[in-house]
Each structure stands twice: as structure tokens, then as C-alpha cells.
DNA sequence: ATGAAAGCGCTAACAG
DNA sequence: CTGTTAGCGCTTTCAT
């Protein structure tokens, strides 16, 4: 190079002046912007922050940064966001958002940039995805309930346009068979959204319908606490009259009244896995899509108890 | 222009091909990247997601997108992130992270880009900031407790390097005076972090010290539920023996056992206000820094009750 | 009015 | 192996 001392002086001056290579200019030349878009339905849903944190952590290690898009459950907002980050030349997209068939992500796919799904599956293996073993979630929940002697188990299913909703419902039905319980004795109601209000509405409807059950498995903790409210409204105790199991193990469920028995999903790992998948796709654009499934675990707390029929001096379902 | 029909045809083809103006190229020329950095200490802290959502929502309306950085309480990570987004030519930085004096944000400041603080104040008015009225939070909490007849009120203060921690402590002391309570009768312990464990440790220490109190005001809900645990450990009931008040009103505190009396802070509005401040600074780089303070509100639930001394047949502090 | 040309800060391909 | 140069896709300035 030039004179050694001069070089050093220049470097020092550059540093003092706060020089940073301009990643935008580099990106223009190399077509590598160094940013990944992360699209989420709703930052306020307790499962989302740990996922985003997992993604961000892994991506940052690899020198990428994340352009965050909160779609707020609006397809219009989703479209606008996606167009915006597309024009910002994101190198890939990680989304927790797929619920439509005609998807706003199509232009991204068409542009040849990798897309990975997180907490969702779709496209029959044509898309990389990191998601929980939804059927196993249900198996864990139903197995626990069956062990406690419950034979009439209701299910408040997740929305039909989410893979978690349909996967857990499928798992619920299978688990019933596995444990020798008749589907006919149980009841399923499909919620429209993963919210407390919907959980309450669904559970109330189950009760109003005259369904007999001593336990209810909800596809999500938010739905489960909504069930608490519905039960409470009609004077039914949890777990004394009916047991409730949720899914996700979101923060603070251990402090609820009663503490919620639920299925833990490691959302942070889900996010990190999705980031890993993205990194792989970026490193080798011709690689096959790959799926990573995360194993859930049962966490037993206070919202489940022996079924009435399994207790000494008491029998029959709690409802009707 | 050229032939009208031809122009239209070209536009249609461009659309079909999925053409998007390249924001990176534009940014190189105009020095406006269209992205704002958002630096947070920890996405897992329940107050952070609503803040980020508020920021993102307002910024998206104005056509900006957010580069998210989760510092994970590590100054090293914070530095790395900040350098990364600086090289990405962010137009400004919104941070919830200021706790150090020698701050990693200095290079950003030096580069002349606007910086706005959210949920924090610092720099004596030299920095724009959106933050809660921390002294009022304490006034609301102490006022409520005083009304219930409590005269010996302990305070688990927030970390000394956070503006919320020191502001609420200052407010606590002032509120004591306002309500004619002697500081000497009360006790303060300063926590090191805003976590449940720290809350438990601090409250346990207060008890072990022999401090007499019938109520405790914690600078944050996480600390407050830690107090639940400490009280529980020594067989003290809440609110029967000691009342507990938190601050923030994070999600689901209404489902805790007992439901937490706390001070609500509209974190979404905090985020939106910070975004607004950023937009102002971007529109007029010579504008004076400005502060927006958000008014908190008291939300009374089940963790507070009449002081023992204010009840019929019982007097004296609960502890010692 | 419209169209040509220069250049933002970098990298990659090239010539010396 | 080092040093020069062209050009990424846009905006803006300057001729026409």
C-alpha cells in the first residue's frame, strides 16, 4: 500500500470522523441489502414478540438486520408493507402471516427471493417453514385430560385459516381415537380469531348448545382464558367442575386464577429456526425448501383436575 | 410524452413484471433511506411490544419503515446494532434504551441524525422524548393507598439508571409529603432490574430488614408480582395483610391472583408520540427538541384493601 | 416544455 | 498484485 504511517493516520482520522461504509451504496452494487423483512400479524399477540426476538437474534449474528412489519390483521396494510420493503430490496421475507390463499406474498415469491414461514405451514412443502408440532400439542393436552378420567372433552379450535388451528383440530380428533374416546361424545367449535373474547363466545355457545363436557381444550391460551370467563358466567368452577387446557404457554399464565395447564411451545426457538432456514436459503438459493418442527411439552398447573366421574362420590358431566 | 396508448401499455407491462422503484438507488441519490432505527432493550419486556407497535404504526403511515434492534440488555449488542443500522443510512433513531452516560448513541447524534427517546427522558431537554409522567404515577399509587388508610408504605424502586426508576422514586417521596406521611415510617429499596425475581428479592429484603409496612408500591408490575411471591413466602396475604400496587398495567394483570391494582400507562400512545416527534424532526431538522408526556391513570383491582389499622378490630402494621 | 448526462458511494472487472 | 474505471438505478441539473 502507501506509506504505513500515512495509512494508519488515515484510518484514525476516518474513525474520528465516524466513517462507516455506506451499506446502501454497497447494496446498490451487490444487490445484497443486508435486510430481511419480518411480517407479523400482530405484535400484541403474546406469542409474537418471542418469535421476533428469536429471528432478530439469529439474523443479527449473521450480520443481517430486520425490517419489521406489523400487519395488524389487515390485508391492506400487509400489502402496503410488503410493497414498501420489496422496494427496499429485502433479501428475503419471514412471515407469520399466511392465512389467505390469494396471498400478498406472491410478488415476493415471484421476485425469486426466499420466503420462510414461522409458526405456520402452508404450500405442502414448497415453502420453508418453522412451526410447532400442532398435532402433538393436542395429543399432549387430550392425553393429560384422559389420564384424569375425562371422557367428554370439548375443543375450542383455532381459526380455520390458520395452520395451527387446523393442525390442532386434526390432532384433537386423532387423540380422541387413540384414547378410545368417541368423537360423538365430544364437541368442537371453531373460533374466528385467537382472542379472549372469541374464547368466551365459543365456550358460552358450547354450553348454550347443551353440549356435555367435563373438560375443554382450547387451541390457544387466549381462547382458554376466554373459557374461564364463560364458565364463570354460568357458575361453573375451574377446575372443580370443568378442566381447561390451553396451548402456547404464554407469559404469566402461571399467575392466572387458576394457573393455566397448557402446552408449552418454545417460540424463541421457532424464530431462531426460521432465521436459520432463511440463512440457508440465502447461502444456497437452489436448496430445497425445508421444514423444522418444534416439539411442544405439557405443563400441568391448576386448571385441570380429576374428572367428576373419576372422583369418589360424584358422577356425570358438569354441564347439563 | 410519447404515444398515449404506448405509455399505458408500458405501464401495464411494468406492473405485470412486478416493477418497483428501487428505494435503495433512490436513497443513494437523495440520502433518504426511508428507514428509522428502533432500538429496544428487550422485546420480552411486556411494555415494549405495544411501544414498538405504536411507533411502527405511525411511521408506516408516513411511509417510513422500521429497522428493529433488540439490544438484549447488552451494551455490546447495542453498539453493534447501532453501527449496522448507521451504515444502512437510517434517517433517525428511536430508542427505549438510554441507561448509560457514555452512550453508544453518540455516533448517531454526531452524524446529525435525529434521536428520540421513548419511555425514557435524558439530556435535560436536549433530546426529544415521549415518556410517562412518572411522578404522577407515584402520586396516583400513593394517593390510593393513603385513601385506604395506609400510613406505612414501602417502595420497591426501579433501577437507578432508568428515568422511570428515579422519576417514580422522586414522585413517591413527594406524594408521601403531600399526604402527610413521614418518610421515616416508610422504606425504599432500589431494585437492580425490572424483573419478577428482583421484585421478590427486594420485598424479601424489606421484610428481613424488619421494616414495618402495610402496603408496597412497586415501580413496575414485574416488581409488583415479585412482591406477591415474597409476601407469600412468609405467609402474608395480599391484600389482607399487605396491599400491593404496581405500575404499567401490562396485559393480563387483571387475571392475576389477586388481580393487580396498578397505574395504567398507554404504551401504544407513547410509541406513536415518539414517532410523531421523529417525523417532526425529519421535517424540520432545525426544530427544537420537544418532549411529550403521557398522563397515567389509576386502575384499582384486587391487590389493595383498607389498611389493617383502618379496619374495625385490628391495628398495627402487618410486618413485625 | 422534454431529453441527455452526471453522479450518489460503493464493488468488480479490468489494465498496468 | 496494485490502481483505475465502469456502472448498480435512481434523481437532478443542465442543454436543447
| Interface probe, candidates B53, B246, B249, B258, chain A, greatest A C-beta count within 10 A | B53
- Does the pLDDT at position A313 exceed 80? no
B9 membership: H or E segment, kind and range: helix B4-16
| Interface probe, candidates B14, B21, B23, B24, chain A, greatest A C-beta count within 10 A | B24
Nearest chain A residue to B53 by CA: give it.
A43
Mean predicted lDDT score pLDDT of chain A: 91
The dihedral through the CA atoms of A89, A94, A97, A98 has a sign that is positive
- Does the pLDDT at position B287 exceed 70? yes
Indicate the pLDDT class of residue A219, thresholds 50, 70 and 90. Answer: very high
Chain B residues whose beta carbon lies within 8 Å of the beta carbon of residue A301: none
For A146-188, what is each residue's pLDDT tens digit?
999 999 999 999 999 999 999 999 999 999 999 999 877 779 9
Q: Is nucleic acid strand C under 7 Å from A21's C-beta?
A: yes
Query: What are all long-range contacts of B15-21, with beta carbons under 8 Å and residues at least 24 apart?
Result: B18/A107, B18/A110, B18/A111, B20/A83, B20/A86, B20/A87, B21/A87
Chain C positions with an atom below 7 A of a protein C-beta are 2-3, 7-12
Nearest chain B residue to A35 by CA: give it.
B67
Indicate the pLDDT class of residue A109, thresholds 50, 70 and 90. Answer: confident
pTM confidence score: 0.93
For B233-258, what is each residue's pLDDT tens digit?
999 999 999 999 999 999 999 999 99
- Are B50 and B271 spatial neighbours (Cβ–Cβ below 8 Å)? yes
- Does the pLDDT at position B296 exceed 70? yes
- Does the pLDDT at position B317 exceed 60? no
Q: What is the mean pLDDT of residues B98-104?
A: 70
Are B89 and A27 within 8 A, CB to CB? no
- Does the pLDDT at position A110 exceed 90? no
- Are A198 and A226 spatial neighbours (Cβ–Cβ below 8 Å)? yes
Chain A residues whose beta carbon lies within 8 Å of the beta carbon of residue B226: none
If one compares A89 and A317, the residue with the highest pLDDT of the two is: A89
Q: In percent, how much of chain A has pLDDT > 90?
A: 78
Select from B261, B268, B251 the least CA-distant residue to B228. B261
Cα–Cα distance measured from residue A194 to residue B229, given in angstroms and rounded to the nearest whole number: 30
Mean predicted lDDT score pLDDT of chain B: 91
Q: State the Cα torsion A99-A130-A57-A14 to the nearest 10°.
A: -80
For B129-152, what is each residue's pLDDT tens digit?
999 999 999 999 999 999 999 999
Report pLDDT for B313. Answer: 47
Length of chain A: 320
What are the Cα distances from residue A203, in Å, to A154, A181, A215, B252?
9, 21, 11, 19
Q: Is nucleic acid strand C under 7 Å from A255's C-beta?
A: no
Select from A214, A188, A183, A204 the least CA-distant residue to A305. A214
Report pLDDT for B136. Answer: 98
If one compares B314 and B95, the residue with the highest pLDDT of the two is: B95
Select from A36, A84, A42 the least CA-distant residue to A57. A36
Q: What is the mean pLDDT of residues A85-100?
A: 89
For A243-285, what is each residue's pLDDT tens digit?
999 999 999 999 999 999 999 999 999 999 999 999 999 999 8
If one compares A259 and A13, the residue with the highest pLDDT of the two is: A259
Q: Which residue is nearest to nucleotide C3 (CA to C1')?
A: B1
If one compares B1 and A176, the residue with the highest pLDDT of the two is: A176
Indicate the pLDDT class of residue A320, thresholds 50, 70 and 90. Answer: very low
A297 membership: H or E segment, kind and range: strand A297-299
- Does the pLDDT at position B315 exceed 50? no
Q: In percent, how much of chain A has pLDDT > 70?
A: 92
Residue B89's nearest nucleotide, by CA–C1', is C9
Indicate the pLDDT class of residue A12, thresholds 50, 70 and 90. Answer: confident
Are A87 and B23 within 8 A, CB to CB? yes
- Does the pLDDT at position B319 exceed 60? no
Measured in whole angstroms, how far is the alpha carbon of residue A65 from the centre of its chain? 22
- Distance of B30 CA from D12 C1′ (whole Å): 10
Which residues face B291 on adjacent strands? B129
Where residue A295 falls (left for φ over 0; alpha for ψ -120 to 50; beta otherwise) is: beta
Task: Nearest by CB to A68, from B56, B81, B228: name it.
Answer: B56
Q: In percent, how much of chain B has pLDDT > 90?
A: 78
Length of chain B: 320
Reduced to 3 states, what is the DSSP secondary structure of residue B299? strand
Report pLDDT for B20. Answer: 86
Chain B residues whose beta carbon lies within 8 Å of the beta carbon of residue A80: 60
Chain B residues whose beta carbon lies within 8 Å of the beta carbon of residue A60: 69-70, 77, 80-81, 84
Report pLDDT for B145. Answer: 98
For B107-125, what is each residue's pLDDT tens digit?
888 888 999 999 999 888 8
Report pLDDT for A106. Answer: 85
Are B18 and A46 within 8 A, CB to CB? no
Amino acid at each position: 500500500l502507501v506509506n504505513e504511517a500515512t495509512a494508519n493516520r488515515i484510518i484514525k482520522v476516518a474513525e474520528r470522523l465516524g466513517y462507516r461504509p455506506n451499506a446502501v451504496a454497497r447494496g446498490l452494487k451487490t444487490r445484497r441489502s443486508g435486510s430481511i423483512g419480518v411480517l407479523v400479524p400482530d405484535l400484541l399477540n403474546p406469542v409474537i414478540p418471542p418469535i421476533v426476538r428469536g429471528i432478530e437474534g439469529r439474523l443479527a449474528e449473521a450480520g443481517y438486520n430486520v425490517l419489521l412489519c406489523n400487519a395488524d390483521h389487515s390485508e391492506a396494510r400487509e400489502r402496503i408493507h410488503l410493497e414498501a420493503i420489496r422496494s427496499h430490496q429485502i433479501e428475503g421475507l419471514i412471515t407469520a402471516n399466511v392465512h389467505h390463499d390469494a396471498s400478498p406474498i406472491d410478488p415476493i415469491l415471484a421476485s425469486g427471493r426466499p420466503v420462510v414461514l414461522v409458526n405456520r405451514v402452508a404450500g405442502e412443502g414448497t415453502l420453508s417453514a418453522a412451526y410447532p408440532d400442532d398435532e402433538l400439542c393436542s395429543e399432549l393436552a387430550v392425553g393429560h385430560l384422559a389420564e384424569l378420567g375425562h371422557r367428554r372433552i370439548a375443543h375450542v379450535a383455532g381459526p380455520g385459516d390458520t395452520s395451527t388451528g387446523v393442525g390442532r383440530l386434526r390432532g384433537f380428533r386423532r387423540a380422541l381415537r387413540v384414547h378410545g374416546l368417541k368423537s360423538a361424545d365430544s364437541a368442537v367449535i371453531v373460533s374466528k380469531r385467537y382472542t379472549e373474547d372469541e374464547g368466551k363466545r365459543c365456550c358460552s355457545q358450547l354450553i348454550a348448545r347443551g353440549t356435555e363436557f367435563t373438560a375443554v381444550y382450547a387451541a390457544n391460551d387466549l381462547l382458554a382464558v376466554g373459557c374461564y370467563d364463560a364458565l364463570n358466567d354460568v357458575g361453573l368452577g375451574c377446575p372443580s367442575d370443568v378442566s381447561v387446557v390451553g396451548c402456547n404457554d404464554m407469559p404469566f399464565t402461571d399467575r392466572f386464577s387458576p394457573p393455566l395447564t397448557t402446552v408449552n411451545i418454545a417460540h424463541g426457538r421457532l424464530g431462531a429456526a426460521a432465521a436459520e432456514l432463511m440463512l440457508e436459503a440465502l447461502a444456497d438459493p437452489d436448496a430445497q425448501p425445508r421444514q423444522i418442527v418444534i416439539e411442544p411439552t405439557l405443563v400441568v398447573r391448576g386448571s385441570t383436575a380429576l374428572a367428576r366421574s373419576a372422583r369418589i362420590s360424584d358422577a356425570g358431566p358438569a354441564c347439563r
